[in-house]
Amino acid sequence: GGGTGGGAFGGGGGGAGGFRSGNFIANSNTVLTITVGGANGNSSIAGTGITTVTSNGGGPGGPGGNSSPEGRPGASGGGSGDAGSNQRAGGAGIPGQGNNGGSANPGNTGGGGGAGGTGGNAPGGNGGSGSASSITGSSITYSGGGGGAPGKSGGSGGGGTGFSSGDGSTSPRAGTDNLGGGGGGGKFPASPSSGQGGDGVIILSVPTANFTGNTTGSPTVTVDGSNTIIKFTSTGTYTT
């Protein structure tokens, strides 16, 4: 799933997109519809005879200086922003996809949750770690949470760092596209006000002996050992 942005005005880190993996068997001539970057950053695999698999988008980081600074829920929850008041909880994650965002306290913000760990609570505020997959043949970490403001690190797996200087043109950092990382929390005043979330990705691994070559949407197709890897960064189809 896609990561979401951090909060503005001294905001919390954005939650990472959902991370899901598993195996399924499809009948021959089944059209698998691949959706990347659907509503709310959700991604999915659907087709006749299989159960639709959805990976949700992350929860936005909460804004600072706001009467409602709590991080929002999502696949991984967003970190809470600094409201200059009592400690505020981070957004809730979805079990099996991600983890909760971190909480904030006066002067400090929470990190966005990641697939492999919760967002850091203030005064830490770093993004939660992502999860690794070797489906492409190499171990790659996906779905890291965004770091809170100011200057907290994004989680491994593409999480963006929260703003760290007055240079609004380069910070906060966006989450990494096609890793589903959450964006970093922003400062006030600055532009951009917060880091955007990174786009998601769907990857299929098919035994090469069964690979049909029937795809739409221009996925990247590679071979790893006895399997063919089909990587979708946008919507498309694969016919078994």
Per-residue pLDDT reduced to its tens digit, 62-80: 998 878 899 999 999 999 9
* CA pair distance 149, 136, nearest whole angstrom: 34
Task: Measure CA 71 to chain center.
Answer: 15
List pLDDT tens digits, range 204-214: 999 999 999 99
Confidence of residue 166 (pLDDT cuts 50, 70, 90): low
pLDDT band at 83 (very low <50, low <70, confident <90, very high): confident
Q: Say if CB 14 and CB 4 are below 8 A apart.
A: yes
The secondary structure element, H or E, covering residue 46 is strand 43-46
The pLDDT > 90 percentage for the chain reads: 79
Using DSSP bridges, classify how beta strands 202-207 and 236-239 pair: parallel, antiparallel or unpaired.
unpaired
Structural Rg of the chain based on CA atoms:
18
175, 157 Cβ separation under 8 angstroms: no
Share of the chain above pLDDT 70, in %: 94
**pLDDT at 165 (0 to 100):** 64
> Which DSSP category does 217 fall into?
S
| pLDDT, mean of residues 168-176 | 71
Note the pLDDT of residue 175.
94
Residue 138 makes CB contacts below 8 A (sequence gap 6+) with: none
pLDDT of residue 67: 81
Q: What is the pLDDT of residue 169?
A: 42
Instruction: Indicate the pLDDT class of residue 133, thresholds 50, 70 and 90.
Output: very high
Exposure string for 85-116, b = 16+ CB within 10 A, e = fewer: eeebbbbbbbeebbbbbbbbbeebbbbbbbbb
Does 112 score more than 80 pLDDT?
yes
Residues near 46 by beta carbon (within 8 Å), at least 6 away in sequence: 32, 33, 35, 52, 53
Position 40 confidence tier, pLDDT thresholds 50, 70, 90: very high
- Report the candidate in 195, 143, 144 with the shortest Cα–Cα distance to residue 168: 195
Using one digit for the tens of pLDDT, what is the confidence trace for 187-230?
766 556 678 999 999 999 999 999 999 999 999 999 999 999 99
What is the pLDDT, as a whole number, of residue 188? 66
Q: Say yes or no to pLDDT of 138 above 80.
A: yes
Query: Rounded to whole angstroms, how far apart are CA atoms 170 and 78?
Result: 21
Other C-beta atoms closer than 10 Å to the C-beta of 29 total 10
186 has pLDDT over 80: yes
Rounded to two decimals, what is the model's pTM? 0.93
